[in-house]
Amino acid sequence: MILKLRNKVALITGSSRGIGKAIALRLANEGANVIVNAAKSVREAETTLSELTGIKGQRHCFVQADVMVPEQITDMMIRIKQQYGYLDILVNNAGITSFVEHDKLDELTIEIFDGIYKTHLRGAFLCVQKALPLMKKSGNASIVNIASVAALTAIGSNIAYCAMKAALVNMTKSLARALSPNIRVNAISPGLTETDLIKGWGNYTDEQVQKTPLGRLATCEDIANAVFALLTSLTYVTGQNIIVDGGRILV
């Protein structure tokens, strides 16, 4: 059996469930040593860890750390260094949001705005910054930032979420230029994806399916497959934002 990521060490932030979990499972299936991460959902993270496949010599682990807290990011990288010595793959997937209608500016509080900024943008940057010494030891490292089509459409859960995802896409380009040629940096922008978050949305979800040219929402596995392609097949790609939305953005 050919495992394209055999012996690679991969950190996926926010990987206890949803898209992050699907990425963790996909990379583990291809032979990677996966580091599951979560800030608070420890039980779910441990369940994810138990579901990761293994081959002889494969080592997975869970590291609890909140990317909103710089000191916890530093501690996470120290643990990775102690356990693995290097890092080949970083997927910045951790995210939070709150639903605030765009025209209700007073409801977008400083706490909501700062939380989204610290998680989606500052947290992603600090993970790259603190992981850099470990990734330089790889010789063929890759970073994938999970953004959103909201970065392009400015349609999303709130104004801050859309703005931070747009900033993440922009930062991806800057990092790709700054870290070349040894570290590739790309982004993936999912459309509406089937996760626990959208359960109960009812008519809104049905409307989005009807407006999507491919006739369905993305699955978490669709996003995981896109990450895998960037890591293994699209090796001459850096600084790009891959849209995975079934064509929804075209309508």
- Quick one: tokens of 142? 């890759």
CA–CA dist 54, 47 (Å, integer) = 15
- Quick one: tokens of 211? 């407006």
Q: Which of 84, 86, 117, 161 is catalytic?
A: 161
Instruction: State the sign of the Cα–Cα–Cα–Cα dihedral 142, 144, 163, 215.
Output: positive
Active site residue 236: no
The b/e string for 119-141 (b: 16+ C-beta within 10 A; e otherwise) is bbbbbbbbbbebbbebbeebeeb
Cα of 120 vs its chain's centroid, Å: 9
Closest-CA residue to 88 (of 203, 4, 196):
4
- Quick one: tokens of 11? 């950190």
Residue 63, helix vs strand vs coil: strand
> Which residues are part of the catalytic machinery?
161
